[in-house]
Amino acid sequence: MDLISTIRGSMLEGFLPAGWDLAKIDQLASRPPSEITRREPWWHPQFEPVPCASLTDFDTYMGHEIARAVQRTHAAGRPLILILPVGPMGMYRWAVWFLREWGLSCSHVHGFNMDEWSDAQGNTLPGDHPGAFQHAMEQAFYGPLGERTVPPKQRHFAVASELPTYAEQIAALKKQGGELVTVFGIGRVCHIAFWEPHFAAEYPSEAEWRKPTHRLGARLHPLTIEQNAITSFKSRTTLVPAYANTIGPGLFLAADRIIGGADGSLGRGMMWQGLSLWMTLHHEPTPWIPSSYMPTLPGRLFFLEELAGPLEPECN
């Protein structure tokens, strides 16, 4: 039986992104784990996938990479522009540990949260709401840094009044010699920030797709909503907003360096991010798979080794 052909006429038809070649994607997912780090022709020469044996290793390595960016730019006397995610999160604890251990000030750091939950008009939760990304960042990163933290005026959040100004602010900092580092996770349907794959249908060309710097009230894919229900809302789908404010390719692809993470393992052999990782690393870049562009940039993508598979059926 051709399992992919069974999608035609099923409820999955029209549900998965229209631009996905499912046969090709399935072929990628069938490769042996040993091939996950095999280089592709479109990868940047300075892009490196880094396998991690455990979640502890993952959090530590990724936190160290963020701290090193702070250290490197501090030593060079340059502003550091960090585009920051809320997911993954464990690396912030270690970034704080290294920065405090090294006695480094973050006075030269400018943090720009890449997204925030919203309604269809771009209205967001209050910054101190337990579900708000601003609250998460204050609790996980800015607060624990203590007296060496990023100055409050240099912390930027993806609310409707500020997100549209990100591009101008970042351009001004880059003119001062600033280094732009995009820190990111990979979505279930391969979004970066909340820039979803179905947005590709709105643009006549790849060049036009690359231009937008942001979107207010972005309409989220159902798998994105369910991913977050599982990872952040204790399975309570009814609490997950269906929209979000987000940066676009015009910002996340403008990075001088990237720091990526894929830690989507649920334990007992279950995972949600294995296929997304293979698509990110080994599918040719396409607007229908936003994360497929990240290996074209210099930097590192840290991932749990078990996500490489083999991605085969298993009862748990």
pLDDT digits (tens, 9 = 90+) for 45-79: 999 999 999 999 999 999 999 999 999 999 999 99
How many structural domains does the chain have? 1
CATH number of the domain that residue 195 is part of: 3.40.50.1360
Q: Per residue in 154-169, pLDDT tens?
A: 999 999 999 999 999 9
pLDDT tier for residue 307 given thresholds of 50, 70 and 90: very high
Q: What is the mean pLDDT of residues 205-226?
A: 98
Candidates 185, 7, 192, 2; CA nearest to 88 is 185
At 79 the pLDDT is 98
| pLDDT > 70? residue 101 | yes
Q: Per residue in 126-142, pLDDT tens?
A: 999 999 999 999 999 99
Tell me if 106 is assigned to some domain: yes
Radius of gyration of the chain measured on its C-alpha atoms: 19
Q: How far apart are CA 104 and CA 96, in angstroms?
A: 10
| pLDDT > 80? residue 1 | no
Do you find a cis peptide bond into 45, omega within 30 degrees of 0? Answer: no
Tell me if 316 is assigned to some domain: no
At 7 the pLDDT is 86
Residue 63: how many other CB atoms lie within 10 Å:
22
Identify residue 174 by its one-letter amino acid code. K
Q: What is the mean pLDDT of residues 278-292?
A: 98
Tell me if 219 is assigned to some domain: yes
Q: How far apart are CA 237 and CA 246, in angstroms?
A: 20
Tell me if 221 is assigned to some domain: yes
Q: Per residue in 222-242, pLDDT tens?
A: 999 999 999 999 999 999 999
Residues 6+ apart with CB under 8 A from 278: 28, 29, 31, 36, 308, 309, 311
Q: What is the mean pLDDT of residues 186-201?
A: 98
Domain with 67, as residue range(s), is: 46-304
DSSP string covering 95-106, please?
A: HHHHHHHTT---
| pLDDT > 70? residue 210 | yes
Q: What is the mean pLDDT of residues 278-298?
A: 98
Q: How far is CA 141 from CA 39, 86, 152, 305, in A?
A: 33, 11, 12, 26
At 3 the pLDDT is 72
| pLDDT > 80? residue 102 | yes
Q: What is the mean pLDDT of residues 28-53?
A: 98
Neighbour-count burial of 314, counting CB atoms closer than 10 A to its CB (0-12 exposed, 13-18 middle, 19+ buried): exposed
Tell me if 116 is assigned to some domain: yes
Tell me if 31 is assigned to some domain: no
At 4 the pLDDT is 82
Tell me if 32 is assigned to some domain: no
Q: What is the mean pLDDT of residues 115-129?
A: 96
Tell me if 151 is assigned to some domain: yes
Within the chain, what is the greatest distance between any pair of CA atoms?
Answer: 62
Q: How far apart are CA 173 and CA 179, in angstroms?
A: 8
Which ranges constitute the DSSP H helices of the chain? 22-29, 55-76, 90-101, 133-137, 166-175, 206-209, 222-232, 249-252, 274-282
At 6 the pLDDT is 85
At 113 the pLDDT is 98
Residue 218 bridge partners (DSSP):
244
Q: How far is CA 14 from CA 155, 209, 222, 285, in A?
A: 39, 21, 12, 22
